[in-house]
Amino acid sequence: MSRDHVSPPTVTRDSIHTVDDDSFHSGTVCLVTGAGSGIGRAVALAAAGNGLTVAATDVDEAGLAETRERAEELDLDGPIEPVAGDLTVDEDLERVVEEAAGLGQLTYLANVAGMQHIDPIDEFPMETYDRIHDVMLRAPLYLSKLAIPHFREREDGRGCVGNMASVHGHYVTSDKVAYNVSKFGLRGLTQSIAAEGEGEIRAFSVSTGYVKTPLVTGQLEDTAEQRGISVDEVIEDVMLGQSRVKEMMEPIDVGNLFVVGFSDLSRHLNGGDLLYDGGMTLTYE
């Protein structure tokens, strides 16, 4: 494995898959959280690459500006409109949905933003637990609650929520209780939307193992040093140790999954989870 496997890749136009779907045009709005970095940015670029108008939200305004710049460099069909906001503030969530709905027909919501904190349960700071819960579970629910009435305004009454879960929504590792609980909860939210959506308003989740984002690649050198092993060994033995596919996913791979999940190709995907983990959770030794 060469060293260039270690830096987060930039999304290219060729890496964005396009899907033929009647709703994929600039009159349709896709709201994406966490759009200032990593997977959220890739989802935003993939949606814009499919002609959708993207309401890109994040607390990181500089990150949002970079996402928009990248979309312009790639000359994508749909525009990316930054709508900054903090997912822990209800007034921000209300404003973000209102602004997104003002850009066209709000039809798709991608809940991607997330964070991590590592501590054992008996030492886990409760204010950190609450913050992670607010960003990763409460905000996706509140955004869905606010977006669903807009979905219903469509002539066909259709809309879809895609939630970024994780292998940690299937099994857990120690010292990540807030993350684990949020990801399991996000799958519950996904199924709840499906239960109430009468087949018109769908929901799905996406669960991956490690994806090459700044969050992950930034830890490689430190982990290698701590464990006294090479960066390649950290990738192959630690991060991909249980995966049968010995290659980390790229953010755009996940972006493309959201586009397929939103499209009519996935009209029977409802409440389900797209488990793209290279065999990590379903195989043993």
**Which is closer to ligand NAD, CB of 40 or CB of 49?**
40
Given candidates 37, 53, 105, 243, which one binds ligand NAD under the rule CB under 6 A? 37
**Of the residues 164, 181, 234, 280, which one makes contact with ligand NAD according to CB under 6 A:** 164
Q: Distance of CA 116 to CAs 22, 108, 128, 256, Å?
A: 37, 26, 9, 24
Nearest Cα residue to 30 out of 92, 83, 91, 89: 83
Q: How far is the CB of 104 from ligand NAD (least distance, A)?
A: 22
Nearer to ligand NAD, 76 or 248 (CB): 248
Closer CB to ligand NAD, 15 or 213, in the complex: 213
Reading across the β-sheet that carries 53-57, which strands appear in turn? 80-82, 53-57, 28-33, 105-111, 159-164, 201-208, 273-276
**Residue in 43, 211, 235, 275 binding ligand NAD, rule: CB under 6 A:** 211
> What does the block give as tokens for 151?
């979905």
Fill in the per-residue mask, 44 to 83: x = in contact with ligand NAD (CB under 6 A), - = not in contact. --------------xxx--x--------------------
| CA distance linking residue 81 with residue 104, whole number of Å | 12
Query: How far is it, in rounded angstroms, from Cα 137 to Cα 114?
Result: 9
Size of the site for ligand NAD (CB under 6 A): 27
Encoded one letter per residue, x for contact with ligand NAD by CB under 6 A and - for no contact, window 108-127 reads: ----xxxx------------
The interface mask with ligand NAD, positions 126-155, x = CB under 6 A, is ---------x--------------------
By the rule CB under 6 A, 86 interacts with ligand NAD: yes
* Joined tokens for residue 238: 């630690």
Report phi then psi at 192, rounded to 5.
-65, -40
- Positions touching ligand NAD (CB under 6 A) are 34, 36-40, 58-60, 63, 86-88, 112-115, 135, 164, 166, 208, 210-211, 213-216
